[in-house]
């Protein structure tokens, strides 16, 4: 403000004929910039850095020494403007640990005999009996007494599925009681408990995070000495210090001080339009250099909440019966599994019955009377001998890393509902984009078990996977990766906060609101889309490239102007004006960072978007029928040939009347519309080939069903081929749906972001 007012006032005075007053205003403007610039240079030298600000200080002093006040005032304005932009672009957001500390309970209920008192958590000592209510955070590490419990441990492990703990097992502080009130015997004080350690880890990780060096300073090592030498040569050759000042004026590093910050600020603005908040220019600059990405699993690569993955039945029960029994018994349960089961029941258009005599056993499940039957849902009886179909379910769940809710009706094991945390539909495409954008190494880092982590890592083709990691383990892994390459960490939970802070740049998914991770991370995604990580990196790389390009372009033009000034062709004032023109050019180039970076996907037309939404909705309606294909195959595999005829007929009807019309409509309507956003008609060729294979297997299935209907049963010699047909069709459809959802349906623009 001072420099602009001084320059404008001086120009006004000169126009009015008062040259002395004008020079006074310009001198004041020059001095107002010289004082802070000198401080910046001294501060940089104290820190062992030789910055380009030194040229500005020398040129400002030189203009005063040779009486070129107008040139000095112009330089002062450029310098002040550049510093303002740089500070705005590179101001580091305070890494607020408040969310971590706020989550820590301040009070706890301590039981002493029959007396229950509320005391500060800090007053708890080892051996105290602590009562933790439903939904409350466990205040200290303790051992369960008086009964089992169910705990949401996602804050520590990242595992979205609640964990049952039996009497005598240890429970760590920071987890949430997801069941009935429990009693814990304290085995550590609050300051020595697990959650306090997480806060400390985050603080330590933040403390060791080094600042990013300004882009401009990287050029200073050679640009500053070259400028000073050229100015000295000009003075010596021309015999006048004015030539030296002219060289310094046109060498004033405003292209460096302005172009880079403008490009960085433009990148920040572009990212914000997509729901990506990058806290500082330094964070964006670092993000543009990332070559290793470490990512959490639960809530990051997966949805972060369990859903019903499959329903298995004992002979004599249907899938609809099992899910309705289970939902009725779990209707009033707050358990996350219960909510998933009730939601699955509703998605099938079924209405649960109102249960009576509801009892919930923490860690095992719920029991209730439903329509006159005693129904139990959960882990009841899993330690007993299981029939073959149930043993298959348990074995499959162990391999796939899913949880199982067993359903008992009147003491008979009637079915099972497997629950899983599904992978995000945009994960595969995002991984491909990250690799195409320059990320050479992708690491999965999770507190979840090896089976669940391995499934995700294999599906995405990640380079390494580390499972069952504690918060401190995560910090160690991130630091180890960071010693080899510039590393980013992506996460969403409290347990990820220390690792986010330890990374060169932390990226937090915070679509559900403010979390500890969002407080620690330099990059915060406010939309629940993992592909925004790839968008953020593409924007950062482009902004950084444009910043360097603009700075280099400005320097080349400045060097040419310096040569002209050294030859006596540019007086200081004219050189300052020319420098302003150079500034305008590099700023216009830097503003290109406001535009969206090039992407490997285009924007679908309105007609294509309408079709994508239509077929995405149809996928949801077809899932039950696809699951029934697997159920029919299981009936055959378990030797229930007569029962299989009914299920096969139902499956064939679904395939002929629902599935095939859907696939044919996709082929004829959707795929042609995708040619433009995907780049060519060949982009959907592989999927069209899948349609052909679906038609072939459907035809074989129809012939088998016709033969079975005539015989009234499945001929034994047809079982093997029919099983291959059913299992093959089921897996092919799962793959086909998955690819369409990951490669085509994610082309829809984000409705919540301003593009």
Catalytic residue numbers? 296
C-beta separation of 728 from 690 below 8 A: no
Q: Whole-angstrom Cα distance, residue 384 to residue 403?
A: 17
**Which tokens hold the place of 170?**
């240890």
> Which helix (H) or strand (E) element contains residue 132?
strand 129-132
Q: Whole-angstrom Cα distance, residue 186 to residue 139?
A: 9
Backbone angles phi, psi at 374, to 5 degrees: -90, 115
Angstrom CA distances, 489 to 60, 523, 699, stand at: 44, 10, 48
Cβ–Cβ contacts within 10 Å for residue 492, how many? 28
C-beta separation of 544 from 288 below 8 A: yes
**Which tokens hold the place of 628?**
């029934």
Using the Cα atoms of residue 401, residue 403, residue 409 and residue 412 in order, give the sign of their dihedral: positive
C-beta separation of 417 from 407 below 8 A: yes
C-beta separation of 628 from 654 below 8 A: yes
DSSP code, position 312:
E
Q: Left, alpha or beta for 150 (phi > 0: left; psi -120 to 50: alpha)?
A: beta
Q: Left, alpha or beta for 365 (phi > 0: left; psi -120 to 50: alpha)?
A: left
Q: Whole-angstrom Cα distance, residue 607 to residue 708?
A: 43
Q: Whole-angstrom Cα distance, residue 81 to residue 269?
A: 19
> Which helix (H) or strand (E) element contains residue 478?
helix 471-482
**For the stretch 398-408, what's the b/e string if a residue is b when 16 or more beta carbons lie within 10 angstroms of its beta carbon?**
eeebbbbbbbb
C-beta separation of 509 from 492 below 8 A: yes
Q: Whole-angstrom Cα distance, residue 212 to residue 209?
A: 9
C-beta separation of 714 from 703 below 8 A: no
Scanning 638-718, the segments in alpha helix (DSSP H) are 641-654, 660-665, 671-673, 675-678, 685-711
C-alpha atoms less than 13 angstroms from C-alpha of 123 in its C-beta half-sphere = 10
DSSP three-state, residue 187: coil
Place of tokens 């015999």: 239
**Which tokens hold the place of 664?**
């044919």
Instruction: Please measure the distance between the N-terminal and C-terminal CA atoms of the chain and give it in whole angstroms.
Output: 34
Place of tokens 């049952």: 164
């Amino acid at each position: 403000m001072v420099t602009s007012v001084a320059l404008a006032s001086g120009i006004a005075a000169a126009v009015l004929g008062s040259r002395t007053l004008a020079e006074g205003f310009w001198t004041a403007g020059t001095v107002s910039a010289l004082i802070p610039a000198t401080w910046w240079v001294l501060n940089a030298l104290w820190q062992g850095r030789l910055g380009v600000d030194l040229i500005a200080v020398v040129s400002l002093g030189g203009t005063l020494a040779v009486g070129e006040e107008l040139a000095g005032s112009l330089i002062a304005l450029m310098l002040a403007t550049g510093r303002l932009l740089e500070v705005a672009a590179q101001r580091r957001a305070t890494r607020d640990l408040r969310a971590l500390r706020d989550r820590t309970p301040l009070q706890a209920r301590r039981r002493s005999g029959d007396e229950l008192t509320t005391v500060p958590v800090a007053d708890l000592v080892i051996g105290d009996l602590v009562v933790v209510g439903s939904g409350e955070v466990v205040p200290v590490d303790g051992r369960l007494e008086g009964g089992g419990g169910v705990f949401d441990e996602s804050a520590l492990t990242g595992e979205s599925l609640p964990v049952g703990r039996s009497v005598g097992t240890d429970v760590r502080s920071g987890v949430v009681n997801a069941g009935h009130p429990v009693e814990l015997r304290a085995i550590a004080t609050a300051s020595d408990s697990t959650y306090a350690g997480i806060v400390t880890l985050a603080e330590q990780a933040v403390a060791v995070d080094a600042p990013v060096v300004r882009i401009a300073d990287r050029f200073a090592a050679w640009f500053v000495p070259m400028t000073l030498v050229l100015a000295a040569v000009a003075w010596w050759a021309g015999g006048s210090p004015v030539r030296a000042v002219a060289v310094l004026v046109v060498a004033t590093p405003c292209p460096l001080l302005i172009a880079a910050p403008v490009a960085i600020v433009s990148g920040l603005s572009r990212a914000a339009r997509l729901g990506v908040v990058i806290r500082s220019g330094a964070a964006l600059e670092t993000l543009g250099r990332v070559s290793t990405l470490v990512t959490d699993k639960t809530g990051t690569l997966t949805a972060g909440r369990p859903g019903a993955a499959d329903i298995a039945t004992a002979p004599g029960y249907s899938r609809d019966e099992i899910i309705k029994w289970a939902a009725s018994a779990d209707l009033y349960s707050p358990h996350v599994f219960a909510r998933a089961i009730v939601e699955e029941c509703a998605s099938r258009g079924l209405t649960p019955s109102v249960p009576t005599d509801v009892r919930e056993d923490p860690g095992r499940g719920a029991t209730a009377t439903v329509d006159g039957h005693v129904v139990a849902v959960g882990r009841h009886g899993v330690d007993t001998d299981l029939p073959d179909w149930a043993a298959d379910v348990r074995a499959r769940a162990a391999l796939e890393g899913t949880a199982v809710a067993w359903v008992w009706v009147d003491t008979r094991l009637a079915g099972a509902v497997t629950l899983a945390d599904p992978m995000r539909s945009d994960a595969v495409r995002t991984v491909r984009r990250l690799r195409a954008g320059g990320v050479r190494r992708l690491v999965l880092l999770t507190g979840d078990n090896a089976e669940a982590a391995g499934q995700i890592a294999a599906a995405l083709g990640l380079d390494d996977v580390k499972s069952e990691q504690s918060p401190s383990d995560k910090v160690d892994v991130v630091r180890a990766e960071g010693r080899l390459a510039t590393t980013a960490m992506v996460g969403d939970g409290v347990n990820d906060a220390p690792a986010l802070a330890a990374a060169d740049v932390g990226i937090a998914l915070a679509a559900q609101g403010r979390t500890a991770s969002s407080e620690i991370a330099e990059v915060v995604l406010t939309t629940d889309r993992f592909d925004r990580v790839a968008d953020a990196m593409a924007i950062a790389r482009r902004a950084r490239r444009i910043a360097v390009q603009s700075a280099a372009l400005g320097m080349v033009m400045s060097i040419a102007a310096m040569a002209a000034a050294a030859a006596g062709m540019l007086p200081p004032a004219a050189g300052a004006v020319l420098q302003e023109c150079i500034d305008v050019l590099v700023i216009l180039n830097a503003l290109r960072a406001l535009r969206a970076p090039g992407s490997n996907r285009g924007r679908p037309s309105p007609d294509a978007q309408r079709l994508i939404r239509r077929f995405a909705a149809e996928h949801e309606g077809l899932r039950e029928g696809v699951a029934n294909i697997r159920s029919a195959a299981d009936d055959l595999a378990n030797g229930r040939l007569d029962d299989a005829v009914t299920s096969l007929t139902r499956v064939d009807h679904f395939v002929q009347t629902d599935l095939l019309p859907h696939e044919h409509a996709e082929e004829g309507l959707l795929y042609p519309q995708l040619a433009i956003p995907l780049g060519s008609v060949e982009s959907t060729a592989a999927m069209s080939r899948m349609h052909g294979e679906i038609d072939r297997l459907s035809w074989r299935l129809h012939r088998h069903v016709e033969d079975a209907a005539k015989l009234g049963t499945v001929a034994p010699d047809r079982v093997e081929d029919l099983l291959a047909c059913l299992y093959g069709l089921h897996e092919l459809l799962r793959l086909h749906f998955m690819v369409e959802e990951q490669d085509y349906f994610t082309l829809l623009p984000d409705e919540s972001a301003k593009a």
